[in-house]
Structure 1
Amino acid sequence: MDDESVQNRTRKYVKPSYHYLITNFLKLLLVPLIAVLVTNFYRLSLNQFLLQHQYNLFGVIFSVAIFGSTLFFMYRPRSVYLLDYSCYLPPSNLQIGYEKFMNRSKLIDNFHESSLEFQRKILNRSGLGEETYLPESILCIPPRPTMAAAREEAEQVIFGAIDNLFDNTKINPREISVLVVNCSLFNPTPSLSAMVVNKYKLRENVKSFNLGGMGCSAGVIAIDLANDMLQIHRHTFALVVSTENITQNWYFGNNRAMLIPNCLFRVGGSAILLSNRARDRKRSKYKLVHTVRTHKGSDAKAFNCVYQEQDETLKTGVSLSKDLTAIAGEALKTNITTLGPLVLPISEQILFFANFLAKRLFNGKKKKKKKKPYLPDFKLAFDHFCIHAGGRAVIDELEKSLKLLPKHVEASRMTLHRFGNTSSSSIWYELAYTEAKGRMRQGNRVWQIAFGSGFKCNSAVWVALRDVKPSVNNPWEHCIHRYPVKIEP
């Protein structure tokens, strides 16, 4: 047999067998023990077994304990740590204030005078400040919504966030085994995830995922997917990139429901580095505790409330329904029904359960006034809230529904004011705000809440592993001293 045949056989049979043996060593070790125990119990009755092995009973109990402990450690969920994350800060020449926004809009012939006035009113009530950012392609006169320009925007945002993340963590890109990129409206070929693989020369066997069309809640979905992958692949890193692309998704028509996103969405993106290596705990910022996902897509009203379509003149845009806030509230209720038992103290769970029973008992009686459902006090479960900065109305609704205080929604309001709606990455700008303010202490629990088309409400819960200081090039480091600012009603 020649050397080439030997090498082929080794590659085909020996190496896979070796990797399987090492990976499943503990499982294979348990097989003889299980066989011995089953055989003994099969041959002897319980009394005979105890009689004959009365002096070896301790050994049997010890073996069973070892067996149970091994199973527990083998199948328990692996801890996932957040080493660091980075939010993209665009250059100052891309800032867009109210007047600059309106002046650029007036130069676009497509807009009617009534549409311009509508945009002005939306801007004034939006909660956005004067320092948000738009891509260069939209600021150009005339705008340049080409595929090439959209790629440029994606590269600037994604590479900008990842470069800063790698500089801060000193991680070799070749160590990354899992890559998840989410961008709802821009999905070129090759994909954005392939663009990242190409740029940073990631390894050939990297598990790469590209999520599209999942809206502003996709950031939590991406974290959930990365977490699932890190339960399978041992001792490795996962890179999650969350962004949105504006260049080819700017609406140039006069449908008011489609004009609203023009006034809210702005440039932004984030890169997050996760690890399942136990030794990375000491240098990590947070540990992932829970992810809870709610999908209301089976309801037609919820499905259609955020909808990409063409208007009567065949101009493409994203239409936002007037019922969006109410639908978001219903999705939140469903989400917290699952999340509550996982995070609330037992005192709140008892109250919730008692209210549930009372509602079932008394609501069925016509003469009795219906009891309102008890809303748990989530302020007892969380120290910080990162509510998706989708718009002023969304933040107002959640502040009211969850009975939060102004300090609990400060990060969300200030992120909306400084950066606008950056879609799936907004919850990371909010976390960065909390860190920049020096408010994150060891043991603090963080609730990230995001809403997205479909309609979805997703939650991620983190616990701080130490007093967290802002990372280098935190997007707030040059302006945090000016915040919080007062936002006019």
Structure 2
Amino acid sequence: MFLQSIGLAVPARSFAQADVLQTLEKDPTFAGLTEKSRILLRKVLSGKNGIERRHLALDEVHEAFVFQPDAMMARFRRHAPELAGQAARQALTRARISPENIDALLVTTCTGYLCPGLSSYVAEILGLPASASLLDLVGQGCGAALPALDQAAALLDSGRARRILVACVEICSAASFLDDDPGVLISACLFGDGAAAALLGTAPPTSGPSVRFAGSSRHSAPEHREHLRFDHRQGLLRNLLSVEVPSLSARHARTVFDRACAAHGRRADELSGWIWHAGGREVLRALRREFGLTEKDTEPSSSVLRHHGNMSSPSCLFALDHALRNGVPDGIWWLASFGAGFSSYGTFLEVRR
């Protein structure tokens, strides 16, 4: 399977962390938290946590603190199809492929639910053929891009499709919550909105870089599910995030990487690029320690985190796009994602420009 192109989309408005804090401090929700919680929010939003700005599907930042189920659902219903469609259309434009030549569309999300699924709306926006296969992967969390790519590879290998779009979209501002749980508070400071789409095919593109998917692996650890998952409270999604997430992310990423190396005859010293899900500053630090990497090695992910926050499933495709455009050397790369489950995924890429 070859990558033909990547398309990206974010909401028009972005908000500095300091602006979010300033608005939050004036909101009644803030006053309802404990003093310990208020101190934590001030520390995270005003400190150096690796995030400068986040794009959010809001007209004004105060809307982020209106925790009403109908308003949250309306935000997802409006912006998720729109952003996914924008990212997918950009991928098609970059590859110079028309919508009628797409055989299948896979859409991932965990921040909202529609029936029919998002794929129905995105296919309509793009004008895909009525015969195209439409698939929705819902609830895979931050790691969803990689299992979606695995499913695309299976469709291509089976001969049932020649060109496939994978779109990952999250409206995290439609899945936010505030209470005195530290993990919930950190989540409110961490996540942003965005979408990324990958156009995939059985042959390399006629122009631009050649990126071949060259062997994947995965690991599921349900015994660690409670460390990272969505809960439901007052009709809203509430993200549970424990302090163990950075170490668990690194540990399971190592398991996946070692398994992939054994299966595909690779070694770490062969790699010229490391592309990680931008899960957070502490997650990237834990990955650097586990794999003996430098800050330069994780710069594609750090850059995404700095400018967008953690966008959940689109993040690793944003990082891959950054790496392809910003001088990461050709050769063998490792693309990895992880998230709720606890789940972890990775794939080797053969990159030639």
Alignment pair present for 1:104 and 2:23: yes
Q: CA deviation at 1:140?
A: 4.5
Q: Aligned equivalents of 1:248 and 1:407: distance in 2?
A: 33
Q: Deviations over 1:451-471 (max 9, x none)?
A: 110001100221123x2xxxx
Q: 1:399 aligns with which of 277, 283, 288?
A: 288
1:426-437 paired onto structure 2 within 5 Å: 426-437=315-326
Q: 2:256 aligns with which of 322, 331, 335?
A: 335
Q: 2:49 aligns with which of 115, 126, 135?
A: 126
Instruction: Identify, as 1 or 2, the structure richer in helix.
Output: 1
**Quick check: 1:87–1:269 contact (8 Å CA) kept in 2?**
yes
Give the % identical residues.
Answer: 22
Taking a change above 3 Å as real, the CA distance of residues 240 and 309 of structure 1, as seen in their structure-2 partners, is same
**Quick check: 2:103–2:161 contact (8 Å CA) kept in 1?**
no
AA paired with 1:126? N
Equivalent residue for 1:65? Answer: none
Taking a change above 3 Å as real, the CA distance of residues 138 and 421 of structure 1, as seen in their structure-2 partners, is farther
**Quick check: 1:303–1:454 contact (8 Å CA) kept in 2?**
yes
Gaps of 5+ in 1: 1-79, 349-377, 468-489
Q: Aligned equivalents of 1:316 and 1:282: distance in 2?
A: 43
AA paired with 1:195? Y
Equivalent residue for 1:309? Answer: 231
Q: CA deviation at 1:283?
A: 5.9
Equivalent residue for 1:387? Answer: 276
**Quick check: 2:24–2:62 contact (8 Å CA) kept in 1?**
no
Q: Aligned equivalents of 1:430 and 1:344: distance in 2?
A: 25
Taking a change above 3 Å as real, the CA distance of residues 209 and 119 of structure 1, as seen in their structure-2 partners, is same
Taking a change above 3 Å as real, the CA distance of residues 341 and 132 of structure 1, as seen in their structure-2 partners, is same
Equivalent residue for 1:460? Answer: 347
Equivalent residue for 2:311? Answer: 422
1:216-295 paired onto structure 2 within 5 Å: 216-233=142-159, 236-276=162-202, 278=203, 280=205, 285-295=210-220
Equivalent residue for 1:409? Answer: 298
**Quick check: 1:252–1:315 contact (8 Å CA) kept in 2?**
no
Q: CA deviation at 1:385?
A: 0.5
Secondary structure of the 1:464 match is strand
Q: 2:336 aligns with which of 417, 436, 449?
A: 449
Q: CA deviation at 1:424?
A: 1.4
**Quick check: 1:411–1:431 contact (8 Å CA) kept in 2?**
yes
Larger radius of gyration: 1
Alignment pair present for 1:318 and 2:239: yes
Secondary structure of the 2:134 match is strand
Q: CA deviation at 1:162?
A: 1.6
Gaps of 5+ in 2: none
Q: 1:205 aligns with which of 117, 131, 152?
A: 131
Taking a change above 3 Å as real, the CA distance of residues 113 and 106 of structure 1, as seen in their structure-2 partners, is farther
Taking a change above 3 Å as real, the CA distance of residues 386 and 152 of structure 1, as seen in their structure-2 partners, is same
TM-score normalized by the length of structure 2 = 0.90
> Which structure ranks higher in relative contact order (CA pairs < 8 Å, sequence separation ≥ 6)?
2
Q: Aligned equivalents of 1:194 and 1:169: distance in 2?
A: 22
CA RMSD, 1 decimal: 2.2
AA paired with 1:153? H
Taking a change above 3 Å as real, the CA distance of residues 190 and 314 of structure 1, as seen in their structure-2 partners, is closer
Q: Aligned equivalents of 2:236 and 2:205: distance in 1?
A: 49
Taking a change above 3 Å as real, the CA distance of residues 118 and 175 of structure 1, as seen in their structure-2 partners, is same
Alignment pair present for 1:139 and 2:61: yes
Q: Deviations over 1:72-107 (max 9, x none)?
A: xxxxxxxx111111121432xx11112210122123
Equivalent residue for 1:485? Answer: none
Secondary structure of the 2:292 match is coil
TM-score normalized by the length of structure 1 = 0.66
Secondary structure of the 1:423 match is coil
Q: Aligned equivalents of 1:324 and 1:339: distance in 2?
A: 22
Q: Aligned equivalents of 1:287 and 1:308: distance in 2?
A: 34
Taking a change above 3 Å as real, the CA distance of residues 152 and 440 of structure 1, as seen in their structure-2 partners, is farther
Query: How many aligned positions are there?
Result: 345
